[in-house]
Amino acid sequence: MHGGDRGGAIPRERGIADIGLAVGSNESARRVLLFDIDGTLVRSLPGRGYRREVRAALEATFGTAGRIDEVRFDGNTDLSILREALEAEGIPFSEIRLKLADWEQTFVGLTRRALAEAPVFACCPGTERLLEMLSADPRFDLSVLTGNLELMAGVKLESVGFDRHFRLRGAYGSDHEDRNELPAIAIERISGQTGRQIVASDCVIIGDTPRDIEAARANGMKCVAVATGPHALESLGQYSPDVLVQDLCDGEALIEALLG
């Protein structure tokens, strides 16, 4: 359902050559940056991939892992991943929702156990410096827009020391199955926390999959696409993000682009 290079509603009229480092036009607006986590800020270490924990938590919670091995994770919300894995095995979505918190607790517990032995995640190139710069810059608010359930999002960020940059709650896979529904949730939540009425044009989604670009488009937000996940630069370029970069290493250029 979600994830992967499956085309979709995103027009392809622009090529990579047309995509410059330019976002927005209102210089005075404070920008709300909504970071995806997997493939954008954090990656699973080879051989330490946490699919094993996903599977074990499914078996413990639902009695089966269903078709989890066939499901693509990138750009997908956890709820959607669980539906794809389990519904075909006869487990209704209502039951998945009902047991979601149990699954999450088990999954987080198993992942914490793995983290206690050795690192499971690493930060993506350029992210440490970029987040330091953005956190210190009063023109930006940082939050997340991720398919991870909220507890797991926290575990991943904490495991690489990024939790201190993300004090504002954003939107998570635990909020909705459909990633395109997450930006509106993030706006409402961040408006409540900051006391400012955030609007979509203040927001920029930073993500590594066509799904991130689509979620931005569907909600009138700008998007920075970064090729540190499973999708190559050329592939992401077909979806016409506002900004397209190989990685997040050039913090100065990115900040300029984010401000427009």
Length of the chain equals 260
Residue 25: phi and psi, rounded to 5, are: -140, -15
Quote the least distance from Cβ 157 to Mg ion, whole Å. Answer: 13
Given the complex with Mg ion, which of 24 and 230 has the nearer CB atom?
230
Q: What letter does residue 258 receive in the DSSP assignment?
A: H
Quote the least distance from Cβ 75 to Mg ion, whole Å. Answer: 6
Cα angle 243, 249, 253 (rounded to 5 degrees) comes to: 50
Given the complex with Mg ion, which of 198 and 227 has the nearer CB atom?
227
The CA distance from 66 to 221, in Å, is: 36
Q: State which amino acid sits at residue 17.
A: A
Quote the least distance from Cβ 28 to Mg ion, whole Å. Answer: 30
Which of 36, 53, 104, 214 touches Mg ion by CB under 5 A? Answer: 36
Which of 3, 24, 39, 173 touches Mg ion by CB under 5 A? Answer: 39
Given the complex with Mg ion, which of 39 and 241 has the nearer CB atom?
39
Quote the least distance from Cβ 40 to Mg ion, whole Å. Answer: 5
Given the complex with Mg ion, which of 202 and 208 has the nearer CB atom?
208
Given the complex with Mg ion, which of 8 and 15 has the nearer CB atom?
8
CA distances (Å), 146 to each of 65, 76, 107, 143, 186, in order?
22, 9, 17, 10, 10
Tokens of 124: 């993506």
Quote the least distance from Cβ 146 to Mg ion, whole Å. Answer: 7
Which of 78, 84, 202, 208 touches Mg ion by CB under 5 A? Answer: 208
The whole-angstrom distance between residue 92's C-alpha and the CA centroid of its chain comes to 26
Helix (H, G, I), strand (E, B) or coil at 246: coil
Radius of gyration in angstroms for the set of CA atoms belonging to the chain, rounded to a whole number: 18
Listed ranges 17-25, 108-116, 206-214, 248-256: which one lies at the site for Mg ion (CB under 5 A): 206-214
Listed ranges 32-40, 122-130, 158-166, 220-228: which one lies at the site for Mg ion (CB under 5 A): 32-40
CB 34 within 8 A of CB 223: no
CA distances (Å), 27 to each of 31, 56, 257, in order?
9, 48, 11
Given the complex with Mg ion, which of 36 and 104 has the nearer CB atom?
36
Quote the least distance from Cβ 212 to Mg ion, whole Å. Answer: 7
Of 184, 188, 191, nearest in space to 205 by CA: 184
* Residue with the shortest CB distance to Mg ion: 39
78-86 and 51-62 helices, crossing angle to 10°:
60
Quote the least distance from Cβ 138 to Mg ion, whole Å. Answer: 27
Given the complex with Mg ion, which of 38 and 202 has the nearer CB atom?
38
Listed ranges 12-20, 37-45, 130-138, 172-180: which one lies at the site for Mg ion (CB under 5 A): 37-45
Counting contacts by CB under 5 A, is residue 38 touching Mg ion?
A: yes
The CA distance from 183 to 27, in Å, is: 22
Binding site residues, Mg ion, CB under 5 A: 36, 38-39, 208
